[in-house]
Amino acid sequence: MDVSRRQFLSIGSAGVLGGSALGFDLTESVRIKQRLRIEGATLSHSLCPYCAVGCSLIAHTKKAANGKTELLHIEGDPDSPVNEGTLCPKGATSLQLAVSRRRVPHPLYRAPGAAEWKQVSWEFALDRLARNIKASRDATFVAQDADGNVVNRCEGVAFAGGAAFSSEEGYLATKLMRGLGLVHLEQQARV
């Protein structure tokens, strides 16, 4: 092959043949590049919300066409001194906390004695919940204990906080339940 000094220099500095600095034929690579569907995902640090171990996560997200941020994948953070890249099965599936095709999007109600669930409105569900809580509270409310001390407590209802509660949600739930007189409050996040 006859290579002029000019060609030679072009290999040595700027590159030739569509960008290969050493003169490799890129025709096929360019064709593949055009066919490949390469997508970018942003990496962010997060924490598993499920328990007090507090494993570090790396979350992969992407801006969707509608402008919303989509969560694509979650993996353990190998840099974390807490979990060193490991996740328990709960943490490894924490993606489903945000994205799950099996999530039920409407309230469902199964009436006493009924075999089937039926879809109801949020208004119906919230109203029903409030009435049942009030009925249970009223039925089991203790104003004074056996020694006559004023205690004003509800012994017939217990509350279990969700593992994925944020601090604010935990505060709100505690405030509300204490307001109702509940004494049996539990928080799964310290299991």
Question: Applying CB under 6 A, which residues contact ligand SF4?
Answer: 48, 50-51, 53-55, 83, 87-88, 90-91
Minimum gap (Å) between residue 186 Cβ and ligand SF4 = 16
CA 132 – CA 153 distance, rounded (Å): 17
Q: Binds 78, which of ligand SF4, another protein, none (CB < 5 to 8 A, cut-off by type)?
A: another protein
In the complex, least distance from residue 133 CB atom to another protein, rounded to whole angstroms: 38
Choice from 51, 88, 164, 183 touching another protein (CB under 8 A): 88
Residue 97 binding another protein, by CB under 8 A? no
Shortest Å distance, C-beta 168 to another protein? 24
Tell me: does residue 36 bind another protein (CB under 8 A).
yes
Q: Extract long-range pairs of 95-102: CB within 8 Å, 24+ residues apart.
A: 95/71, 97/49, 97/164, 98/71, 99/70, 99/71
HSE-CB at 179 with a 13 A cutoff on CA atoms is 8
Report d(CA 27, CA 18) in Å as an integer. 8
Count the residues in the chain. Answer: 191
Cβ at position 7, least distance to another protein in Å = 7
